[in-house]
Copies of this chain bind each other. A is one copy, B any other.
Amino acid sequence: MKGERTAIIGVGLLGGSLGLALKRRHGARVVGWNHRASSRRKASKLMSVAPTLPAALEGAKTVVLCAHSGSIASFLKGILPLLSPKTLLLDVSSVKGEIVREASRVPGAKDHFVPCHPMAGKEKSGPSYADPDLYRGRIVFLTPLKGSSRDLVQRASHFWRSVGAVPLVLTAGTHDRLVAMTSHLPHLLSGALMNLYSSRAKTQPLLGSAVGTGFRDMTRIAGGSPSMWTDIMRMNSKEVLSLLFAYRRTLGKLEKELRKGTSGRWKTFFEKARSGRESLR
């Protein structure tokens, strides 16, 4: 991969971190591009930045689209005609079903594009938080389009291994179901908790003094990018909805337990939670 050119379209936290990881580990040439001039200026602190999108794509063996889930499909249509025949195109967005469906309808997409989702991130966004170790040891889900060659998918896997990540191929449907449970539902719950706190804080001036590490842990992800999470809720609504329904039903049962005011089933509930937590890898 040494000397090969990689274009990063959208140099934020994920794109910036990827650029730093590639530069550091392989001496690869990395070129970034952002839509807005102000973002291009920020990006230029991390990597060389092309003045135009076609200039960024010029001669790139690998192009990584680091945009939110909602804009991947339209980006794809704009970028595909500009790629060399052998260029590998990846993304890093959080929802895969809708992207795979839309990309499958774009002629030629299967010859370039391997949809990807690295399980890496922070609650902070922007290139100033970029970290060359962001991907190290992290799972990256690959949800290839129907008809993509095995070679293309292997190149995608190889790319992620080169920045220390662990590629894992599965269907877009399975992917969306998994991350709805481990990421999208938790994000929604965290946001709702944060908003309930804010509404109570208006009339309870001492509330801030009762905030400890537990509350901070529970609301850390509520600090994520609103536009990114809006895309995710729209694009993975079915899976999130099914889990939210199940979760809310559980809360309804716990409400009944609280109403009784006895110890009831709490011990079993918390024991199950603790042993579940301890068995997380």
Question: Which residues of A are in contact with B by a Cβ distance under 8 Å?
Answer: 119-123, 138-139, 141, 168, 170, 174-175, 177-179, 181-183, 185-198, 200, 204, 206-227, 229-231, 233-234, 237-238, 240-241, 243-248, 250-252, 254-255, 257-259, 261-263, 266-267, 269-274, 276-278, 280-281
Closest beta carbon of chain B to A274's beta carbon, Å: 5
B residues near A237, Cβ cutoff 8 Å: 258-259, 261
A212 touches B119 (CB 8 A): yes
Partner of A217, one of B120, B212, B217, B259: B217
Q: How far is it, in angstroms, between the C-alpha of A237 and the C-alpha of B272 when the chains are bound?
A: 20
A247 touches B196 (CB 8 A): yes
B267 touches A244 (CB 8 A): no
Partner of A234, one of B207, B208, B219, B262: B262
Q: Is the interface of A mostly helix, strand, loop or mixed?
A: helix
Rank and list the top 9 A-B pairs by shortest CB-CB distance, nearest first.
A226-B270, A191-B273, A178-B210, A198-B276, A222-B273, A230-B266, A241-B258, A223-B277, A182-B210
Partner of A209, one of B139, B194, B246: B139
B residues near A246, Cβ cutoff 8 Å: 196
Q: How many copies does the complex hold?
A: 2
B residues near A215, Cβ cutoff 8 Å: 182-183, 186
B269 touches A191 (CB 8 A): yes
Kindly report which residue of chain B lies nearest to residue A255, judged by CB atoms: B244
Closest beta carbon of chain B to A195's beta carbon, Å: 5
B170 touches A206 (CB 8 A): yes
Known: A178-B207, A215-B186, A267-B230. A247 touches B192 (CB 8 A): yes
Given contacts A190-B273, A251-B251, 13 further A-B contacts (CB under 8 A): A121-B213, A138-B212, A139-B210, A182-B214, A183-B210, A192-B250, A192-B251, A192-B273, A195-B276, A219-B280, A220-B277, A234-B262, A244-B251
Known: A258-B237, A266-B229. A223 touches B170 (CB 8 A): no
B residues near A266, Cβ cutoff 8 Å: 226, 229-230, 233-234
A218 touches B186 (CB 8 A): yes
